[in-house]
């Protein structure tokens, strides 16, 4: 049975995730990320999805992620910012880092890329969990 989450908080958490992603992979670390990925400007332009399509699908993914994280927050009994940070950390460590590690372990991507993506995910999860907990 699904527990009640604040759908406006889910929406706000998804927006926060997208804004952090834009800043992280844009002005803050975009050039470094592209270098670590081995992506040229030409390769970026020849991606199969347009930027708008990718952003739209990414936002739907962010909504789903925020909704599930909201469910975890309710089940966890998270009531404070400290609870939100703890929840975000454990979800990040147990599910996100372990999944992202495959790019380093099996795809030959540099560890620095895992660290960059992992840090982005941690910041995003802390922001999302905090929004979801504060606005339950």
* pLDDT of 18: 98
Tens digits of residue pLDDT in 1-46:
567 899 999 999 999 999 999 999 999 999 999 999 988 878 778 8
Whether 24 and 134 have beta carbons less than 8 Å apart is answered as: no
Rg, Å, the chain Cα set: 16
Residue 109 has pLDDT above 70, yes or no: yes
Task: Please give the C-alpha separations between residue 25 and each of 33, 65, 94, 112, 136, in angstroms, as whole numbers.
Answer: 7, 19, 23, 14, 29
Mean pLDDT calculated for residue range 70-77:
95
Provide the mean pLDDT of the chain: 94
Domain ranges of the chain: 7-134
* pLDDT of 46: 83
Mean pLDDT calculated for residue range 105-109:
94
DSSP string spanning 50-115? Answer: -HHHHHHHHHHHHHHHHHHHHHHHHHHT--SHHHHHHHHHHHIIIIIIHHHHHHHHTS---HHHHH
Instruction: Provide the whole-model pTM.
Output: 0.92
* pLDDT of 28: 97
* pLDDT of 1: 52
The pair phi, psi for residue 109, each rounded to 5°, is -75, 150
**How large a percentage of the chain has pLDDT more than 70?**
99
């Amino acid at each position: 049975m699904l527990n009640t989450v604040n759908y406006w908080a889910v929406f706000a958490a998804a927006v926060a995730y997208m804004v952090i992603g834009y800043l992280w992979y844009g002005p803050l670390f975009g050039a470094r990320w592209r270098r670590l990925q081995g992506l040229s400007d030409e390769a970026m332009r020849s991606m199969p999805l347009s930027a708008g399509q990718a952003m739209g699908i990414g936002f739907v993914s962010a909504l789903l992620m925020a909704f599930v994280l909201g469910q975890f927050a309710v089940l966890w009994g998270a009531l404070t910012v400290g609870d939100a940070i703890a929840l975000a950390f454990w979800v990040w460590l147990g599910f996100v880092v372990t999944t992202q590690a495959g790019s380093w372990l099996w795809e030959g991507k540099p560890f620095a890329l895992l660290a960059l993506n992992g840090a982005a995910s941690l910041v995003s999860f802390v922001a999302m969990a905090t929004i979801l907990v504060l606005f339950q």
